[in-house]
């Protein structure tokens, strides 16, 4: 069995491979040519849980549309979205290095929630699952934040850090799914795919 992954994320590709799932990647346009259907801008006052579900579902459904347009073989489309919630606010990917420093200063010494929504769509049917984890950062000094940001690692990641990389040193406590914080919760994703007939 094979699916389409509607994501650019190398972490999600690694985790699907770890699960033994064969896949082809669908890449959406970004920048000025980005598809409006996959715009990740939060709506004013949008709840973080509702936001992550909306984006994950939109990516899966847009991926299915691309399959139809390109007349590709019909297979399930899997997409995911990861966002952070700190004190009720949505924290996405940093827009630049200064924003990454600012985000990490806000996370320092606090507990935040990492929400990863996973959606699978196939033959007009979409199923969804949410992974919610709590991550506590130790106190970070400004020099180590700047040094980490200079490495470039935070720039394409929700919350400006990758738990599987150097930022693992910042994590004092994790309650939830390590792979969910990375961007694809393998347990929940496996259960979701079983609903579509996958056998592991």
* Residue 80 CB neighbour total at 10 angstroms: 28
Distance CA 158, CA 167 (A): 13
Q: Is position 156 annotated as part of the catalytic site?
A: no
At residue 60, φ and ψ (nearest 5 deg) are -65, -45
- Going by the DSSP 8-state scheme, the letter that residue 139 receives in this structure is P
At residue 39, φ and ψ (nearest 5 deg) are -65, 125
Q: Which of the following is catalytic: 81, 96, 141, 156?
A: 81
Distance CA 100, CA 62 (A): 29
Residue 192 contacts residue 120 (beta carbons within 8 Å): yes
Return the active site residues. Answer: 81
């Amino acid at each position: 069995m094979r699916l389409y992954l509607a994501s650019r994320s190398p972490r999600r590709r690694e985790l699907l491979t770890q699960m033994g799932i064969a896949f082809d990647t669908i890449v959406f346009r970004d920048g000025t040519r980005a598809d409006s259907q996959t715009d990740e801008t939060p709506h004013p006052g949008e709840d973080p849980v509702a936001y992550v579900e909306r984006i994950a579902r939109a990516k899966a459904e847009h991926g299915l549309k691309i399959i139809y347009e390109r007349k590709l073989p019909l297979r399930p489309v899997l997409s995911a979205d990861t966002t952070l919630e700190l004190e009720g606010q949505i924290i996405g990917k940093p827009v630049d290095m200064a924003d990454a420093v600012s985000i990490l200063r806000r996370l320092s010494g606090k507990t935040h929630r990492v929400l990863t929504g996973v959606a699978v769509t196939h033959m007009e049917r979409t199923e969804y699952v949410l992974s919610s984890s709590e991550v506590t950062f130790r106190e970070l000094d400004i020099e180590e934040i700047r040094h980490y940001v200079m490495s470039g690692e935070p720039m394409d990641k929700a919350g400006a850090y990758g738990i599987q990389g150097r930022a693992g040193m910042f994590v004092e406590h994790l309650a939830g799914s390590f792979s969910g914080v990375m961007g694809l919760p393998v347990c929940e994703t496996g259960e979701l795919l079983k609903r579509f007939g996958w056998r592991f």
